[in-house]
Chains A and B, each alone.
Chain A
Amino acid sequence: AQSVTQLDSQVPVFEEAPVELRCNYSSSVSVYLFWYVQYPNQGLQLLLKYLSGSTLVKGINGFEAEFNKSQTSFHLRKPSVHISDTAEYFCAVSAGGTSYGKLTFGQGTILTVHP
């Protein structure tokens, strides 16, 4: 079985500052990793995904994430945030085999960008 831990439930940051949202996962098999963003009262939008290959993945809105297999982490970063980045961010994992198609989500991190 897979599990995902997002280490920070809330992250406040000032506009134009860098930000890192942390995600660790556990799985006994190879996984695919994802970051989603959820704006208030909306569905989830895929920010980026790691399937294989380069461990540095670039996504939409200037976000990027790095897959670290030895540390089982997939932290999300942005060098300079905007007010519009205020939202909740979810890390998710998908494994193969009998869990194929089942995304396991972390608890979410609320990012608040202050002017």
Chain B
Amino acid sequence: NAGVMQNPRHLVRRRGQEARLRCSPMKGHSHVYWYRQLPEEGLKFMVYLQKENIIDESGMPKERFSAEFPKEGPSILRIQQVVRGDSAAYFCASSGDKAYEQYFGPGTRLTVT
């Protein structure tokens, strides 16, 4: 029973490039959540998606960040024109109907040079 999968595990981008982070939820889960962990900080909620819908994006920066969870395929977190401050670990979680029972992936560690 595969868990939450994220790829790539490590991503290096130069300032100004685009970063695309992918998340495949656990089998049977239709809810996806993205969190960001900055160095020496806890995880901060970014966005909550269901298939083809954004439910809560209250934690998303207003510019350069977007997320989608299409009908088919993984959820994508997209960061345009990355800056050094975007360097962080990005975690995806998924759940079934109980949104508070979230299972986390291994994370993608983004480094912006």
A interface residues with partner B (beta carbon < 8 Å): 4, 32, 34, 36, 41-46, 49, 51, 90, 94, 98-108
Please measure, in the bound complex, the distance between the C-alpha atom of A88 and the C-alpha atom of B36, giving whole angstroms. Answer: 16
What string of 1s and 0s marks CB contacts (under 8 Å) between B33-64 and chain A?
A: 10100000111110010000001101100000
Residues of chain A within 8 A of B103, CB atoms compared: 46
Contact B107 A101 (CB under 8 A): no
Quick check: B48 and A102 within 8 Å, CB to CB? yes
B12: interface (CB < 8 Å): no
The residues of A that contact B31 with a CB separation of less than 8 Å are 101
Q: Count residues of chain B with CB under 8 A from any CB of chain A.
A: 27
Q: A43-B4, A102-B58 are in contact. Are A90 and B104 (CB under 8 A)?
A: no
**Smallest CB separation, B113 vs chain A (Å):** 20
Considering only residues 57-113 of chain B, those with a C-beta below 8 Å from chain A are: 58-59, 91, 93, 95, 99-107, 109
Give the top 7 A-B pairs by smallest Cβ distance, nearest first: A101-B99, A105-B42, A94-B100, A43-B104, A44-B104, A43-B106, A101-B48
On chain B, the residues within 8 Å of A98 by CB distance are: 56
- Chain A residues with CB under 8 A of B102: 46, 103
Residues of A within 8 A of B107 (CB): 42-43
CB of B43 within 8 A of CB of A45, answer: no
Residues of the B chain whose Cβ atoms lie less than 8 Å from the Cβ of A43: 4, 91, 104-107
Which residue of chain B is the closest to A102 with respect to CB atoms?
A: B45
Contact A44 B45 (CB under 8 A): no
Q: Quick check: B91 and A44 within 8 Å, CB to CB?
A: yes
Docked complex Cα distance between A102 and B56 (Å):
8
Cβ contact within 8 Å between B42 and A101: no
Q: When the two chains form the complex, which single residue of A42, A49, A102 contacts B101, counting CB atoms closer than 8 Å?
A: A49
Q: Are A101 and B106 in contact (CB under 8 A)?
A: no
Q: Are A106 and B42 within 8 A (Cβ)? A: yes
